[in-house]
Amino acid sequence: MELNLKEFEESILEPSASLIKDIKSIEGDIMFLGIGGKMGPSMAKLAVKAIRLAGIKKRVIGVSRFSSGSLRLELENEGIETIACDLLDEEALKNLPQVPNIIYLAGHKFGTTGNEDFTWAMNAFLPGLVSSHFKNSRIVAFSSGNVLPFVPVQEGGVSEEYSPEPVGEYAQSCLGRERIFEYFSKKNKTPILIYRLNYAVDFRYGVLVEIAKSVKEDRPIDLTTQNVNVIWQGDANEIALRSLLHCSSPAKILNVTGPEILSTRWLAEQFGELLGKKPEFINTGAGTALLNNASECHRLFGYPRTTIREAIEHTATWISNGGELWSKDTHFQERGGKF
């Protein structure tokens, strides 16, 4: 049976009762900086839906360059106000309206190699401009688990107390982003939460899609990175919105991912069963991986609503029906920090 993307997405991305409750406690409007990426549009739509179901009034504003495509119209049709802005244009940034709640999604990853200066400008310079302009706001600032070290797979992942050890310029610039937000949080008493995500998955992109595509296309799966963390994008979106209630000064750092340390081999075998294929494998495990301990996240927000088996099933269903996939691979198997 042919699936309808909109109906399929809406059926599994309804806001939870917890989000609807928390959205009532978040005072003021919400602005998404860098809304044009993988998570921004669905997160803003989720916010609009939760606000409506909560029976309250709150503006949701999306900021991006909106240089091409139909995203701007799509967002506006969902009730999201839009502002076209190059965030690195300091004068344009200064003209953005003051909003009490900021979700900071801007950043640069792929194409870092050979374009290191732009990566640092986006990931470490821009946060200073944003922190200064929105010093009286609450800010949830997206970061990456890439700032943390590779650890033995049997140790349960790295919690927020561990010192970062970024590998490569992308990860180093992400740590720069965190440090700049931390500095301005202290300087201006700005409540900030640094949201270390590792990795969000959706039926159109992410670790699960990458593994499923390899299984479907009979391409061997590299087991060097033998374990991985993932969280369903809908749950990651909810946590980001609800994190506005947990911003603090000094800034709070929060690891965000699912509770399992997943076997790459096991994931491939699950997709093999659902897609009617026998996975092929190459190489052996390195014994270490980039793994996060998100127990503090789970203490604050509970376990993700979407289980890993449900995420696998959603992904397999979409791929089996020829659903559109985004060419935005995570490169989760990259171990040298080059993106």
What is the DSSP code string of 14-69? PPPHHHHHHHHHS-S-EEEETTTSSSHHHHHHHHHHHHHHHT----EEEEE---SS
| CB-side neighbour CA atoms (13 Å) of 187 | 11
pLDDT at 321 over 70: yes
> For residues 179 and 123, what is the distance between their CA atoms, to the nearest angstrom?
11
Two tokens, residue 102 = 């900021």
Residue 334 banded pLDDT, cuts 50, 70, 90: low
The identity of residue 30, as a single letter, is I
> For residues 62 and 103, what is the distance between their CA atoms, to the nearest angstrom?
10
CA distances from residue 210 to 204, 220, 271, 276, 326 in whole angstroms, order as listed: 10, 12, 11, 17, 10
Neighbours of 332 (CB within 10 A): 19
Kindly report, residue by residue over 47-76, the tens digit of the pLDDT: 999 999 999 999 999 999 998 779 999 999
> For residues 271 and 236, what is the distance between their CA atoms, to the nearest angstrom?
23
pLDDT at 194 over 60: yes
Kindly report, residue by residue over 284-293, the tens digit of the pLDDT: 999 999 999 9
Percent of the residues in the chain that have a pLDDT greater than 70, as a whole number: 93
One DSSP character per residue, 295-337 reads HHHHHHH-S-SS-HHHHHHHHHHHHHTT----S----TT--S-
Kindly report, residue by residue over 254-274, the tens digit of the pLDDT: 999 999 999 999 999 999 999
Two tokens, residue 105 = 């999604």
Rounded to an integer, the average pLDDT of 223-241 is 96
C-beta of residue 311 within 8 angstroms of C-beta of residue 207: no
Largest separation between any pair of C-alpha atoms in the chain? 57
- Residue 250: asked if its preceding bond is cis (omega within 30°), the reply is yes
DSSP 3-state assignment of 288?
strand
Give exposure, 260-293, as e/b (b: 16+ Cβ within 10 Å): ebbbbbebbbbbbebbebebeeeeeeeebbbbbb
Rounded to an integer, the average pLDDT of 170-189 is 97
> For residues 206 and 135, what is the distance between their CA atoms, to the nearest angstrom?
33
CA distances from residue 235 to 11, 19, 162, 212, 216 in whole angstroms, order as listed: 14, 10, 25, 21, 26
Output the pLDDT for position 68.
77
Q: Which CATH class is domain 5-200+230-258+291-301?
A: alpha beta
Phi, psi for residue 211 in degrees, rounded to 5: -70, -45
C-beta of residue 92 within 8 angstroms of C-beta of residue 129: no
Rounded to an integer, the average pLDDT of 169-188 is 97
pLDDT at 11 over 90: no
Say if residue 73 is exposed, middle or buried (CB neighbours under 10 Å; 0-12, 13-18, 19+): exposed
Helix residue ranges, H only, the chain: 5-12, 17-25, 40-54, 71-77, 90-94, 116-120, 126-133, 168-188, 207-216, 233-242, 264-275, 295-301, 308-320
Output the pLDDT for position 86.
96
Output the pLDDT for position 1.
47
Percent of the residues in the chain that have a pLDDT greater than 90, as a whole number: 84
> For residues 169 and 150, what is the distance between their CA atoms, to the nearest angstrom?
16
pTM of the model: 0.94
Kindly report, residue by residue over 164-176, the tens digit of the pLDDT: 999 999 999 999 9
Phi, psi for residue 138 in degrees, rounded to 5: -90, 135
Rounded to an integer, the average pLDDT of 288-312 is 96
Residue 335 banded pLDDT, cuts 50, 70, 90: low
CA distances from residue 298 to 255, 259, 293, 305 in whole angstroms, order as listed: 10, 8, 10, 11
Mean pLDDT of the chain: 93
pLDDT at 78 over 70: yes
The residue with greater pLDDT, 6 or 296, is 296
Rounded to an integer, the average pLDDT of 83-98 is 97
